[in-house]
Structure 1
């Protein structure tokens, strides 16, 4: 399980969502809707706030991006990288 956030994606969060150094961005699994993923019927949601139960993380530009223990299963079969394509975030999944 590899989880990576590109520098461009971290800067996107800073510009578009006013995320600052020291903030935490949590990704969580939800049924349908939201960010499309490699898992059929599941998508990603995200929240910005304080650190929670961190299972896997990447710290970029002082911002901690993470999945908690309850949602880390989402990356068991995939590596995931958050990138910017055009002017939008994209979530790239690669099977292990």
Structure 2
């Protein structure tokens, strides 16, 4: 499993969450909404430091990660984090 963050998405995170070099963004499973693999669960994100990361990637000095306990949600797919101009926010795709 991998995390891929586009340049546009990384820029959005830096601006909207006031990220500095060395900051962390966690992608996590939350109850509610709808995901591509599990009805009633969706993906959330938060600015926080890792405790038990399963996967972590550095993009422009910031670290994006998924904790081991949330890996099940991705159903063995990679996570692509992109930017959506219409919603002016991140969009998640699963490869």
TM-score by length of structure 1 reads: 0.84
What is the aligned residue count? 92
Q: Secondary structure at the match of 1:71?
A: helix
Do the aligned residues in 1 keep the contact of 2:28 with 2:44 (CA within 8 Å)?
A: yes
Q: CA RMSD in A?
A: 1.5
**Counterpart in 2 of 1:84?**
83
TM-score by length of structure 2 reads: 0.84
CA shift for structure 1 position 32: 0.6
CA shift for structure 1 position 85: 1.6
CA shift for structure 1 position 45: 1.8
Do the aligned residues in 1 keep the contact of 2:82 with 2:91 (CA within 8 Å)?
A: yes
Mapped to 2, the partners of 1:92 and 1:56 lie a distance apart of 16
Mapped to 2, the partners of 1:46 and 1:88 lie a distance apart of 12
Give structure 2 stretches of 5+ with no counterpart. none
Q: Secondary structure at the match of 1:21?
A: coil
The answer on 1:93 being equivalent to 2:91 is: no
CA shift for structure 1 position 92: 0.9
**Counterpart in 2 of 1:63?**
62
